[in-house]
């Protein structure tokens, strides 16, 4: 494993990314997967999917928002014609716990009935939201429905779900970057890193309560 700050500085040299004191990198304890490792694996997945779905005119479906980073790189690594669409769902949390059940906030614009659908995820852990989404998509009777995730945390899974394509298996640690967030932050990091405990604690405190 590499030191997060050093790796991030090396990877970002010559770019416009903010590396000043106070930026996101200071909250990263350790880089788990570098930007280069991610890009290499995404390219492998792209080649694999291009072969699997050749001649099938697939629809790639992602759920907002975390998947947008992976989806953007994945579709550019796929060499066959594809459609891309996104759905949005409410997630359980402090702002939704009193709103009953999960609901779609953005439905698909593409009709997937009879189409080969590849559902693309940034990370799968408990599988709670994935289970709901797969049922929603399956009800529309696609020709096939497979799952591709860049990051997988199978130890967190509550129940069995069939994941056909996995980029990386992540350890049982709280990680951010490359689309993965904590409280909507850190998605724009180009690598995946472990968030410092202080950063988690700090962001839970109300404004003005930080020491």
Partner 1 sequence: MPNPRNGPIQFSHPAEAAFARVLDFYEIEWEYEPTTFPLEWDQDGRVMTAFSPDFYLVEEDLYIELTTMQQRLVTRKNRKLRLLRELYPDVKCKLMYRKDVESLAVKYGLFEKGPVPAECLDDNSGEPDRHRREVE
Min CB(173)–partner 1 separation in Å = 9
Residues 6+ apart with CB under 8 A from 37: none
Quick one: which segment of 8-16, 42-50, 51-59, 158-166 binds partner 1 (CB under 8 A)? 158-166
Which whole-number Å values give the CA distances from 193 to 4, 18, 102, 113, 165, in the listed order? 7, 17, 29, 38, 22
Quick one: which segment of 3-11, 15-23, 77-85, 128-136 binds partner 1 (CB under 8 A)? 128-136
Indicate the helix (H) or strand (E) that contains 37.
Answer: helix 35-52
Among 102, 110, 143, 164, binds partner 1 (CB under 8 A): 102
Min CB(41)–partner 1 separation in Å = 24
Closer residue to partner 1 in complex, CB, 22/100:
100
Q: Of 16, 125, 162, 183, which is the active-site residue?
A: 125
Contact between residue 189 and residue 24 where contact means Cβ atoms under 8 Å apart: yes
Residue 10 annotated as catalytic? no
Asked if 156 is part of the footprint of partner 1 (rule: CB under 8 A), the reply reads yes
What does the block give as tokens for 188?
Answer: 């724009």
Among 22, 55, 100, 207, binds partner 1 (CB under 8 A): 100
Closer residue to partner 1 in complex, CB, 68/132:
132
Closer residue to partner 1 in complex, CB, 40/158:
158
Which whole-number Å values give the CA distances from 101 to 57, 129, 173, 183, in the listed order? 34, 11, 28, 21
- Pairing relationship of beta strands 104-106 and 83-89 according to DSSP bridges: antiparallel
Which whole-number Å values give the CA distances from 57 to 120, 144, 171, 182, in the listed order? 16, 12, 34, 35
Among 15, 21, 101, 114, binds partner 1 (CB under 8 A): 101
Asked if 207 is part of the footprint of partner 1 (rule: CB under 8 A), the reply reads no
List interacting residues with partner 1 (CB under 8 A): 91-94, 96-97, 100-102, 125-126, 128-129, 131-132, 156, 158-160, 172, 174, 200, 204
């Amino acid at each position: 494993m590499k030191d997060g700050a050093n790796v991030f500085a090396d990877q970002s040299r010559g770019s416009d990314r903010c590396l000043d004191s106070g930026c996101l990198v200071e909250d990263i304890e350790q880089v788990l997967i570098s930007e280069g490792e991610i890009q290499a694996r995404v390219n492998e997945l792209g080649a694999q999917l291009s072969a699997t779905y050749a001649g099938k005119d697939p629809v790639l479906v992602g759920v907002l928002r975390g998947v947008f980073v992976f989806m953007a790189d994945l579709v550019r690594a796929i060499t066959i014609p594809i459609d891309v669409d996104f759905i949005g769902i409410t997630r359980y949390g402090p702002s939704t716990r009193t709103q009953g059940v999960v609901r779609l906030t953005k439905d698909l614009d593409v009709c997937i009935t009879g189409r080969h659908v590849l559902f693309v995820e940034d990370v799968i852990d408990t599988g709670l939201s994935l289970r709901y989404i797969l049922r929603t998509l399956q009800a529309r009777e696609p020709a096939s429905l497979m799952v591709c995730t860049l990051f997988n945390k199978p130890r967190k899974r509550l129940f069995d779900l069939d994941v056909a394509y996995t980029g990386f298996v992540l350890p049982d640690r709280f990680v951010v970057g490359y689309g993965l967030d904590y409280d909507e932050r850190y998605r724009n990091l180009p690598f995946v890193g472990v968030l410092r405990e202080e950063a988690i604690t700090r962001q839970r405190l109300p404004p003005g309560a930080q020491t």
